[in-house]
Amino acid sequence: MVKTILPLEISNASVRRRGKTLVGPVDLILAEKGFTTVIGPNGAGKTTLLRMMHGIERLSQGTVTWHGPNAEVRGRQAFVFQSPIMMRRSVRDNLTYPLTLGKTPKTEARQQAEDWAERINLKSALNRKATVLSGGERQKLAIARALIRKPDILFLDEPCSHLDGRATREIEELLQGAHEKGIRIIMSTHDMGQAKRLASEVVFILKGRIHEFSPADAFFDTPGTNEAKAFLSGDILE
Amino acid sequence: MIRTVFLTACMMLMSPNALWAENIKLAVTTSFHNSGLSEVLLPAIKDDLELTVQLLVVGTGQALRLGEAGDVDAILVHSRKAEEAFLSAGFGTHRREIMYNDFVFIGPVDDPANVGASETAVAALQKIAVARSPFVSRGDDSGTHKKERSLWQAASLETGEFGSWYRSAGAGMGASLNTASGMNAYIMADRASWLNFGNKGDLALLFSGDPVLFNQYAFLPVNPVLHPHVRNDLALKLEEWLIGDRARELINSYTVSGETLFIFNAGPND
Amino acid sequence: MTELFEGLKAAFLLLVRLDADLVEITLRSLQVTLSALVIASAIALPLGAILAVRRFRFRRATIAVLNALMGLPPVVVGLCVYVMFSRSGPFGVLGLLFTPTAMIIAQVIIIVPLIASIAHQSLRDLWAEYHDLLISLNTTQRQRIATLLWDGRRALLTASLAGFGRAIGEVGAIMVVGGNIDHATRVLTTAIALETGKGNFALALGLGFILIALAIAVNFAIHWLTRTEVEGRW
Ligand SMILES: Nc1ncnc2c1ncn2[C@@H]1O[C@H](COP(=O)(O)OP(=O)(O)O)[C@@H](O)[C@H]1O
Ligand SMILES: [Mg+2]
């Protein structure tokens, strides 16, 4: 097993559907360490870009290259979708599901599920159906379910887009904790404050094209393009 | 879990009747079964021979087909021409006459075609045709249907040229009687089916007794040379019983509503 | 109308007397249909899941054929099974004709398309819901199918019960392959056909009412069994 599957190299990659280019062409290299946020207005292509990186969106051209054997790379990534997918099972069984796919023994899986439930304050809900949880609880559960397999890379697609302040803070703490443990995080958001709080680097995407890729401080202090300036000052971008 | 399901399925598949030692499969016609005679004969056979007769109650055509395919060990039917064809094609070993009953004409109680006053069966049919009274035919190529067609022929009438008063039911005796009862129509039935029929409505027995209406039942064992698996030994054992004294007594004394249905007339092989 | 009343009375009398023949044919009905149901479900439910999850070449054709087979008259199925299992047919040596086994085989053929079709429809929706997650988790085909079957089990129960309803009331096919032999292959539906043929409408209706009651009882029993299982888990 290789130590890390990073860096991620994307070269000349695009996604076209029905003759329309959704994203690309993209050239990007994500380094071994960091907390990347992908920002841009609605419909800019954030979701599509993350899915391309994760390898669940068919490329129309170009390549997305991870550093390691193909069979292994997906297993070392996890993805939290914009509207979290709750399996029609109990909270416990949602948490153990990724582990049962591997060779983790049942008791071990249950123990880890309980630890994670404790960490996200859902211990009392372990036996409840996941589909009856609130939006914030769902999002936390989805993140815990993603982290339980101890991925090297965690993708999150606008994890706080429908949440209130308290739920957002809980999730940000969760992500910071994961980042401190060395997990590489790539997250899309349209919340500038959140990007400032968390990110070490920013990918700014507009109409499917990457307009800026720079360290977070530099991006927020001295944006390099007019589009980024306009976006940061709150103008509506087409 | 999966194992339990599998085991249960296996247990269910192994049917209990496989344990019964001696079984013979006999295809009989619906009209024979509807007479109720089998309910008297079968227990007696079981007592005397320790033999379970499994009846397949089907139309004459299907009974013959089952015999041809070797799916039954013997057949008991009443359609002489078809039986002879069966034998000459080598499907059966021989034909043994057992007993006869008779066909009767059923119709509305008020008898609009005045069938009741006829001298012969043929004359009765001619009256129905003249009156164009509704008539239900089995229309299923059964022994009864064949008999009915031969009678129309004898009356020099062509069923194909009849109007809508002649209804071909394409069904068994019971279902055809149900149809006739519903339409208040004439129909030819075997006496046994008629007497046992539970839905008579406004129908009544109007004509019977012409010797041409006698209905001979015969027993034909399936040829074991063609189908080595058939239990010819059991068929012969059953045949011996059917022509014996016990059978004679049971058949001749069997009545429905006080009427004798069958007359035992077992004779030599054809 | 009076016949319906007579039928109810006949059903009542049969039940009160616990008529031995009635018990026998009722148990045989259950034995045949439940066996067919278990076997058909074991075939049809995974088939429905495969059709939902996999994109293979003849997928659309398979779905079309399944839907068409749902409309197949049972008598035709019965005749096909008869031809196969007749002593003169390819499987004649097995000697299965006119046994409950042959009836089970016919019923399996009749209800597999129905169960598979309903299962496919509900699992297709579940798959749309789970698709991204299961792809992201790098699941194998087998794991996807197992997950859908487990999480969709309530909808699948409905599919199976639809199959049960079709099988328990079926008469055309099992009449041909079973032969309606007294004490061997007679079941409720063939007994009803027999009594109707004799013009014994009251008895036939009575048996019909018992058949309906049996179907309802089995439905309730299965729902009750699964309810307790579900509550135990959640
Ligand atoms: N399968 C698809 N077919 C056609 N258009 C799509 C498809 N998926 C997404 N799009 C379009 O691509 C654009 C980018 O979508 P998305 O990546 O979801 O944007 P974001 O996440 O930044 O809001 C949108 O205009 C969206 O409508
Ligand atoms: Mg999006």
Tokens 């202090």 label which residue?
A221
- Mutation to test the C interface, candidates A66, A81, A85, A110, most C Cβ within 10 Å: A85
What is chain B written as a DSSP string? -HHHHHHHHHHHHS-GGGG-S-EEEEEEEHHHHHTTTHHHHHHHHHHHH--EEEEEEE-HHHHHHHHHHTSSSEEEE--HHHHHHHHHTTSBS--EEEEEEEEEEEEETT-TT-GGG-SSHHHHHHHHHHHT--EEE--S--HHHHHHHHHHHHTT--GGG--TTEEE--S-HHHHHHHHHHHT-EEEEEHHHHHH-S--TTEEEEE---GGGEEEEEEEEB-TTT-TTS-HHHHHHHHHHHTSHHHHHHHHT-EETTEE--EE------
Q: Give SS3 for A95.
A: helix
The full set of domains in chain B, from first to last, is 2-100+216-264 (3.40.190.10), 101-213 (3.40.190.10)
Angle between helices C141-151 and C153-168 (to 10 degrees): 70
Question: Is A125 inside a domain boundary?
Answer: yes
In a domain, A197, yes or no: no
Per-residue pLDDT at C230 exceeds 50: yes
H or E segment to which residue A62 belongs: strand A61-65
Average pLDDT for residues B182-203, to the nearest whole number?
Answer: 90
pLDDT exceeds 70 at position B7: no
Domain assignment present for A42: no
- CA dist., res. B161 & res. C57, Å (int): 56
- The DSSP bridge partners found for residue B29 are B58
ipTM tops the 0.90 cut: yes
| pLDDT over 60 at A63, yes or no | yes
Look-up of token digits 């372990």: A126
Compute the distance from residue A48 Cα to the ligand 1 centre, in Å: 7
Burial class of residue C118, CB neighbours in 10 A (0-12, 13-18, 19+): buried
Task: Report how far residue C88's alpha carbon sits from residue B66's, in angstroms, rounded to the nearest whole number.
Answer: 10
pLDDT digits (tens, 9 = 90+) for A114-129: 999 999 989 999 999 9
pLDDT of residue B70: 93
**Residue C9: band (very low, low, confident or very high) from pLDDT cuts 50, 70, 90:** confident
Question: Is A46's C-beta closer than 6 angstroms to any atom of ligand 1?
Answer: yes
Fold classification of C2-233 is MetI-like fold (1.10.3720)
Question: Strand A20-30 and strand A8-17: pairing?
Answer: antiparallel
For ligand 1, atom 13, name the residue with the nearest CA: A43
Q: Identify the pLDDT of residue A229.
A: 85
Q: Is the CB of A15 under 6 A from ligand 1?
A: no
Please report, rounded to a whole number, the percentage of residues in chain C having pLDDT higher than 70: 97
Q: How far apart are CA B197 and CA B85, in angstroms?
A: 32
Provide the residue type at A22 as one letter: L
Parent domain of A106: 87-132
Q: Is B3 on the interface with C (CB under 8 A)?
A: no
Q: Which ligand is nearest to the CA of A44?
A: 1
Q: Provide the b/e sequence for B69-88 (b: ≥16 CB within 10 Å).
A: bbbbbbbbbbbbebbeebbe
Please give the structure tokens belonging to residue B253: 């004394």
Q: What is the DSSP letter of A149?
A: T
* B232 or A6, which is more confident: B232
**pLDDT value at position C185?**
92
Nearest chain C Cα distance for residue B66, angstroms = 8
pLDDT at B174: 85
Within 10 A of C119 (CB to CB), how many other CB atoms are there? 29
Q: According to the model, what pLDDT value does residue B19 have? A: 46
* Contact yes or no for A202/A216 (Cβ under 8 A): yes
The count of domains in chain A is 1
Provide the pLDDT for residue B15. 44
pLDDT at A3 over 90: no
Q: What are phi and psi of B235, to 5 degrees?
A: -60, -40
Task: Output the 3-class SS for chain C.
Answer: CHHHHHHHHHHHHHHHHCCHHHHHHHHHHHHHHHHHHHHHHHHHHHHHHHHHHCCCCCHHHHHHHHHHHHCCCHHHHHHHHHHHHCCCCCCHHHCCCCCHHHHHHHHHHHHHHHHHHHHHHHHHHHHHHHHHHHHHCCCCHHHHHHHHHHHCHHHHHHHHHHHHHHHHCCCHHHHHHHCCCCCCCCCHHHHHHHHHHCCCHHHHHHHHHHHHHHHHHHHHHHHHHHHHHHHHHC
CB pairs under 8 A between A and C: 37
- Each residue's pLDDT tens digit, C134-152: 999 999 999 999 999 999 9
- Residue B47's Cβ-count burial label (10 Å; 0-12, 13-18, 19+) is exposed
Q: Which of A160-164, B248-252, C191-195 has the highest mean pLDDT?
A: B248-252
**C39, C100, C197 ranked by CB distance to B15: nearest:** C100
pLDDT band per the 50, 70, 90 thresholds, residue B16 = very low
Residue A93 lies in a domain: yes
Q: Which helix (H) or strand (E) holds A113?
A: helix A106-119
Q: State pLDDT tens for residues A140-160.
A: 999 999 999 899 999 999 998
Span B139-165, pLDDT tens digits: 887 888 889 999 999 999 998 889 889
As a whole number of angstroms, the distance between CA C86 and CA C220 comes to: 38
A85, C132: Cβ pair inside 8 Å?
yes
C130/C14: higher pLDDT: C130
Each residue of B227-263: pLDDT tens digit? 999 999 999 999 999 999 999 999 999 998 888 889 9
Beta strand pairing call for A35-39 and A201-206: parallel
Among C132, C233, C234, whose Cβ lies nearest the Cβ of A81? C132
Predicted TM-score (pTM) of this structure: 0.83
Q: To probe the interface with A, which of C127, C133, C135, C156 has the most A CB atoms within 10 Å?
A: C133
Weakest-pLDDT range from B164-173, C24-33, C161-170: B164-173
State which H helix or E strand residue A80 sits in: strand A77-80
- Confidence band, pLDDT 50/70/90 cuts, at residue A16: very high
* Token couple for A114: 């309980």
Does residue A31 sit in helix, strand or coil?
coil
pLDDT at C234: 39
Mean pLDDT score of chain B: 88
Examine residue A10 and state whether it is found in any structural domain, yes or no.
no
